[in-house]
Amino acid sequence: MLVRSPQGNVLWDCITLIDDATVSAVRELGGIRAIAISHPHYYSCMVEWSHAFDAPVYLHEADQQWVMRSDRNIEFWSGDTKPLWDGMTLIRCGGHFEGGTVLHAARAGALLAGDILQVAQDRDWVSFMYSYPNYIPLSATKVGRIVAAVEPYEFDRIYGAWWDRNVRSGAKEAVRRSAERYKRAISM
């Protein structure tokens, strides 16, 4: 996803394909000031994207071990948040990776969540997993940490990892409600 803002665009969870047509289209939309990635499953082509736009890649230091190709443009950040610009903030939530990150875009009232907060099929709920391919759930403690990390931020929408898998309104309440339902289910 390309998050557009007056002070510079952020490429979120970049895709693996990069070609001249895509680079040209992104340049027409204002280019990329920085790249931010939710977790290592999206690291694959980040260096190529970074070089195409001479943009830094922001990754949480807790996931540094998963970077298979180091580069001068990769910048590791620490702590629980990294303020960017125009009301955008990277928030470390953890989840299925310790450095699992979401991007809060205050001006849009949105949270870009990758699959840290996985938008459910009905788009009114989210869920949480340690391993999606193996259907291994996260612990109640880790789910609580994710909810606590995003609680201070205002957002009405969540943009998930898959196209058209978004919570279109009431997203903050959906996170709270979903966490409670999830914790009840894993305690049965």
Residue 163 has what pLDDT?
82
Q: In the chain, helix, strand, coil percent, each to 5? A: 30, 25, 45
Q: How confident is the model at residue 69 (pLDDT cuts 50, 70, 90)?
A: very high
| 56 contacts 34 by C-beta, under 8 angstroms | yes
What are the tens digits of pLDDT across the range 114-164? 999 999 999 999 999 999 889 999 999 999 999 999 999 999 999 999 888
Span 84-88, mean pLDDT? 98
| 59 contacts 49 by C-beta, under 8 angstroms | no
Residue 68 has what pLDDT?
94
Q: How confident is the model at residue 104 (pLDDT cuts 50, 70, 90)?
A: very high
The C-alpha atoms of residue 12 and residue 42 are separated, in whole angstroms, by: 9
What are the tens digits of pLDDT across the range 3-32? 999 999 999 998 888 999 999 999 999 999
Outline where the chain has alpha helix (H).
Answer: 20-28, 46-53, 140-150, 171-186
Residue 81 has pLDDT above 90, yes or no: yes
What are the tens digits of pLDDT across the range 34-49? 999 999 999 999 999 9
Selection from 66, 87, 90, 69 nearest residue 78 by Cα:
90
Residue 180 has what pLDDT?
97
> In the 8-state DSSP scheme, what is residue 54?
T
Selection from 126, 112, 121 nearest residue 155 by Cα:
112
Residue 174 has pLDDT above 90, yes or no: yes
Span 108-112, mean pLDDT? 96
Span 104-120, mean pLDDT? 95
CATH classification number, 2-186, choose in 3.30.1320.10, 1.20.1440.230, 3.10.129.10, 3.60.15.10: 3.60.15.10
| 145 contacts 94 by C-beta, under 8 angstroms | yes
| 89 contacts 82 by C-beta, under 8 angstroms | yes
What are the tens digits of pLDDT across the range 175-185? 999 999 999 99
The C-alpha atoms of residue 2 and residue 35 are separated, in whole angstroms, by: 9
